[in-house]
Amino acid sequence: MSTTTRRKQNAKGPNETPTRSWAADLGPGLASTASDNDPSGIATYSLAGAQFGYEMLWLCVLSYPSMVAFQLVASRIASLTGKGLTSNMREHYPRIFFYLAVARFLIANVFNIAADAVAMGVAANFLWDGSVPVFAALSTVLSIVLQFTVPYPRYAKFLKWLTLTLFAYAGVMIVAQVSWHSVLIGSLVPHLHWTEHYFSMLMAILGTTISPYLLFSQATQQAEEMRLDPERKQSDEYRHKLDAQFRKVRKDTLIRTAYSNAVGFVIMAATAATLYAYGHDMQHMRDAARVLEPVVHGYASQVLALALIGTALIALPPLAGSAAHAAAGVFEKENEDAALSNRRVALALVAVMLLGGALGVSMVCAQVEPLRILYWGALVNGSTAMPVMFMLVLLSTKHSAVGDLSAHWVLRCLCWLATVCAGAALVSLFVLEWLD
């Protein structure tokens, strides 16, 4: 029995059956460490390093404060209201805007699920040879089974060991001839090229850095952690618990977001020091594996495969779970039976997983290069994130949703800054496409 379940039993009484959702087992920090560097992120950071060298490192550095701000705002909203972001958006905004945000969310998440399924298919092909579409389909089924039969923290503890293979990129930076002066300049000074390709890459990096699905997953977890009867929310005990929870979330978010951005930074820099430095292009996933050859030599493909499998299996539950909660929230009714709500979420989860897996298999069968699919997953996420970012930053101004945080201008400014910059980059991309 999980800690969350025990807490609910204590709060409700021994004779009541505790209710829970799939997301109750999803830790906010645990998701952000590996989910933010899923296969789509690995491919996107690698492409950025191979095509632009060190010039886009500044995105990993300068996006950090806004990433932290968005996650803290999402957690605060969920903790104070006892509801996830989907329920809060439906409550505070006109239905048309709510449906727009949910539609965007489902499109991006299904495409990301497809990309992760394809990545696992490619990884299995690296390890055992065979058909990538078949491996992708089997990987999708495996992920569904794991999500319904094994508590997320239990199998994530094992999968996190696979993601340690990402530290091989740090080893590459140690043994390769890195231009540390270029790394420093690229990290602190933004470089902009007014080309469609550059802004497409910028949007893809933003899509894999500020990942809306992590905000939804984190908010759902916080809502589960802090949900109490309305009468108890006025007690000193509850306020004490809320303050302690906020301190814990703030510490976890600062550390784990830094780790996530550092991994992306190292992947990009290592690729710049190898492929870009020697004029090698990156067209296929095996080209991405070549980045690791200075450290692991002939086992580069196998090491990359382990990283892809580990990060994909960790990322798929929050991807599918957050999409399922968003889809189910469209049909949710006030004071609805919790068991019915959870069944709807479970059905939606299976649906989005199967749809994403089928989309990934179809694209591979249509001869689409897997590296392109992974990149497109990040690009779709970045290009369609604006409705979610905009609605979340407006929620941060409502006292009914965030309490005293509505006066915390630093977090609000950081969220607005990221939203405005992402919007400007998206407008620039559309203008450059139109002029081309």
Q: Specify whether the backbone of 82 is left (phi greater than 0), alpha (psi in -120 to 50) or beta.
A: left
What local confidence, expressed as pLDDT, does residue 289 receive?
93
Please tell me the total count of domains within the chain.
1
User: Residues, the chain, total?
Assistant: 436
The reported pLDDT for the residue numbered 184 is 94
| Domain encompassing residue 301 | 29-221+237-435
Query: Tokens 């952000």, residue?
Result: 32
5, part of any domain? no
The answer to whether the beta carbons of residues 322 and 77 sit under 8 Å apart is no
Looking at the domain assignment, is residue 337 inside a domain?
Answer: yes
Cβ atoms of 261 and 60 closer than 8 Å = yes
Between the alpha carbon of residue 242 and those of residues 23, 71, 75, 91, the distances in Å are 20, 16, 11, 22
Confirm whether 258 is domain-assigned.
yes
Predicted pLDDT of residue 54: 95
Contact 22, 321 (CB under 8 A): yes
Residue 256, in any domain of the structure: yes
What is the predicted pLDDT for the residue at 172? 94
Cβ atoms of residues 82 and 213 within 8 Å: no
Domain assignment of residue 133, yes or no: yes
**Residues 7-42: tens digit of each pLDDT:** 333 444 433 333 333 333 333 333 444 456 789 999
Q: Which residues contact 238 (CB under 8 A, 6 or more apart)?
A: 228, 232
pLDDT at 227: 57
Element (H, E) at 53: none
Instruction: Give pLDDT tens digits along the chain (436 positions).
Output: 333 333 333 444 433 333 333 333 333 333 444 456 789 999 999 999 999 999 999 999 998 998 888 888 887 777 777 777 777 777 777 778 778 878 888 888 999 999 999 999 999 999 998 999 999 999 999 999 998 998 877 877 788 788 888 889 999 999 988 889 999 999 999 988 899 999 999 999 988 887 777 777 766 666 666 554 444 555 666 667 777 777 787 888 888 888 888 999 999 999 999 999 988 889 999 999 999 999 998 899 999 999 999 999 988 988 888 888 888 877 766 666 667 777 888 899 999 999 999 999 999 999 999 999 999 999 988 887 777 788 888 877 777 666 665 547 788 888 888 888 888 888 988 898 888 7
Is 291 within a domain? yes
Domain of 425, CATH number, reads 1.20.1740.10
Residue 28, pLDDT score: 36
Q: Identify the pLDDT of residue 17.
A: 36
**H-run or E-run covering 388:** helix 386-395
Continuous H helices in 227-369: 236-271, 285-289, 293-296, 300-329, 338-365
Distance of CA 106 to the CA centre of its chain: 14
User: Is 95 among the domain residues?
Assistant: yes
Position 276 in a domain: yes
Give per-residue pLDDT as tens, 275-313: 999 888 899 999 999 999 999 988 999 999 999 999 999
